[in-house]
Amino acid sequence: MEETAAAAPAEKASSYRYWVREATGDAAPLPVPRKLDPAANGNGNPPPLGSVWNQAGTWEEKNLNSWANSRIKDLLGSLGSLKFPTGNASVDEVSKCSGDAFQVTVRNKKRVGYNYELSLRFKGEWLVKEENKKIKGHLDIPEFSFGEIDDLEVKLPHYHVPPLFPT
């Protein structure tokens, strides 16, 4: 019985709870609660992005389809003629421009993304056997999206080149 009585103070001295319960004067003072001041709190932080309801900036998605559709058509229409070693070509018309464009605010950072499908009509001139031939055609881009430009697939379903030797 004496052994268990002697073991209890030794166990009590090495226990985590023992020294937490027995606070001494050398310990740090307990924290004093104080009210937060909203004006002082906002001075050091940048203004939040996005809507007023999403002050934490967790997730917010904004649809940019109408702006992106008109912008893509304007940019492709104003592209002008592209020069090649044996001729030139230009975009005649953007016949199809459909897809999604969006801006996402995640963790108070803005990110953009898009996924589009395009069809273009083109026209141009090629130098074939010392003679300029007019060409026209249709170009399809079935899918292009942010971050996957290297895997871009372009299809030429049909194009028209006048015969080289008229009969």
Measured CA to CA, the distance from residue 164 to residue 74 in angstroms comes to: 35
Which pTM was predicted? 0.59
Range from 3-12, 56-65, 138-147 carrying the lowest mean pLDDT = 3-12
Domains of the chain, each with CATH number or no CATH: 2-42 (no CATH), 59-160 (3.15.10.20)
Which pLDDT belongs to residue 1? 54
Q: What is the pLDDT of residues 58-81, one digit of tens each?
A: 788 889 999 999 999 999 888 888
Output 99 or 35, whichever has higher pLDDT: 99
